[in-house]
Amino acid sequence: MHEIQTVGVGMELERFFAAARLRASDYGEHYVALWDGLEQASTGGKRVRPALVLAAFTGLGGTDLALATPVAVSFELLHTAFVIHDDVIDQDLARRGVANIAGTFAERALAHGAGAQADAWAATAAILAGDLALSEAHRALAMLPVELKLRGRLLDLLDRAVFVSAAGELADVTNTASKHPLSVDLVVKTLEQKTAVYSFEAPLQAGAILAGASAESIGALGAFGRLIGVAFQLTDDILGVFGDPELTGKSVLTDLREGKQTALIAHAGTTGAWAGLAPFIGKADLTETEADAVRAGLRDCGALQAATALAADHADRAVAALDTPAIPVPLRDLLTTLAGTAVNRSR
């Protein structure tokens, strides 16, 4: 996605946060700090979703970036909102080693002599920040100067993104009740719901709809988005156990200690190796040595290979979905490159 410039999106976000901070200053230092934290949360990422909106838009003949930019901003802020609320649900105070909004406000409570309320400050700031980001995601689309029918289609996409992601997030949490590993199918379905729809399907389709693309183009991008989104997440889950923390910025113990329901675990659960692995999956104090043994077990039982093949298969099917005259060659080439980086990466 290197070819896609998201500079305009960054400028638009900067403008939005500058205005919000000015308004917030009427409501005291804590509220300004909350907006600072929200801006930080929205600028840490790779801007994948805005890039997808703009790629589909320009790749399908769209030219008016003044229209596409707010749509790209909308999906970036939707992502920010989900990440922040996901961290509340997981009770995380940091993301990639840096304090998140909740973490910042927990420290803030201490600094203001409210140490006993640190958890309350953390949860409050994060819940509100997510609400504010979610609100602006909606507002950016709602204010588009386009006719009702087009606005309705874009709002329907956003609505689906929110609806399906919520279903996936809930499934992710309720799945933990399962005593046994989930099926691979259920793991994949949950990844699709929780992430692929809002992060890949919806941004691509929004760009296409805004460009006035055909139903066939929109359908092909949707299929590509769901498949490549799953491929991305499957790869993330593999890197979460087998990756290099120096490159990923993520501990390779966390997922194992949490007993995260990944395709690796799902596959291992179908093999004779499971009985030996099970005691260590979800073991909160798993040691480095034990983790090494789990990794060896996941390799030996074929789980690593199966999960890698599953990710590659999804990436291949994603690319195949683009094989229609409804997707112009430059856009197809760009997305095919993206599909490659979804699975072949170390960070």
Name residues whose C-beta falls within 8 Å of residue 163's C-beta, 6 or more positions apart in sequence.
Answer: none
- Select from 68, 72, 83, 141 the one that contacts a second copy (CB under 8 A): 141
Contact between 185 and a second copy (CB under 8 A)?
no
Nearer to a second copy (CB atom), residue 13 or residue 322: 13
Contact between 284 and a second copy (CB under 8 A)?
no
- Select from 21, 138, 283, 317 the one that contacts a second copy (CB under 8 A): 138
CB 187 within 8 A of CB 261: yes
* Site of tokens 């692929």: 196
Q: Which stretch binds a second copy (CB under 8 A): 46-54, 159-167, 202-210, 302-310?
A: 159-167
- Select from 65, 99, 128, 320 the one that contacts a second copy (CB under 8 A): 128
Distance between alpha carbon 51 and the CA centroid of its chain, in Å? Answer: 14
Name residues whose C-beta falls within 8 Å of residue 344's C-beta, 6 or more positions apart in sequence.
Answer: none
- Select from 21, 151, 257, 283 the one that contacts a second copy (CB under 8 A): 151
Contact between 132 and a second copy (CB under 8 A)?
yes
Contact between 278 and a second copy (CB under 8 A)?
no
Q: Which stretch binds a second copy (CB under 8 A): 4-12, 167-175, 247-255, 294-302?
A: 167-175
Nearer to a second copy (CB atom), residue 94 or residue 173: 173
φ, ψ dihedrals at 71, nearest 5°: -70, -40
CA distances from 135 to 128, 164, 179 (A): 10, 18, 37
Q: Looking at residue 98, what DSSP letter applies?
A: E
Among the listed residues 299, 290, 339, the one whose alpha carbon sits nearest the alpha carbon of residue 315? 339
Contact between 22 and a second copy (CB under 8 A)?
no
Q: How far is the CB of 230 from a second copy (least distance, A)?
A: 16
Contact between 67 and a second copy (CB under 8 A)?
no
- Select from 13, 53, 162, 335 the one that contacts a second copy (CB under 8 A): 162
Q: Looking at residue 180, what DSSP letter applies?
A: S
CA distances from 12 to 1, 18, 151, 212 (A): 20, 10, 20, 23
Tokens linked to 217:
């183009």
Tokens linked to 247:
């490159």
Q: Looking at residue 1, what DSSP letter applies?
A: -
Nearer to a second copy (CB atom), residue 130 or residue 207: 130
Contact between 254 and a second copy (CB under 8 A)?
no
282: left (phi over 0), alpha (psi -120 to 50) or beta: left
d(CA 98, CA 291): 24
Residues in contact with a second copy, counted by CB under 8 A, come to a total of 55
Q: Which stretch binds a second copy (CB under 8 A): 56-64, 155-163, 200-208, 294-302?
A: 155-163
CA distances from 53 to 1, 47, 59, 215 (A): 11, 10, 10, 16
Q: How far is the CB of 121 from a second copy (least distance, A)?
A: 6
Contact between 24 and a second copy (CB under 8 A)?
yes
Contact between 177 and a second copy (CB under 8 A)?
yes
Residue type at 268?
Answer: A
CB 323 within 8 A of CB 229: no
Nearer to a second copy (CB atom), residue 29 or residue 300: 29
CB 342 within 8 A of CB 231: yes
Contact between 88 and a second copy (CB under 8 A)?
yes
Contact between 25 and a second copy (CB under 8 A)?
no
Contact between 28 and a second copy (CB under 8 A)?
yes
Q: Looking at residue 99, what DSSP letter applies?
A: E
β-bridge partners, 95: 98
Under the rule (CB under 8 A), what is the footprint of a second copy? 20, 23-24, 27-28, 30-31, 34, 81, 85, 88-89, 109, 112-114, 117, 120-121, 123-125, 127-128, 130-132, 134-135, 138-139, 141-143, 145, 148, 151-152, 155, 158-159, 162-164, 166-167, 169-171, 173-174, 176-177, 179, 193
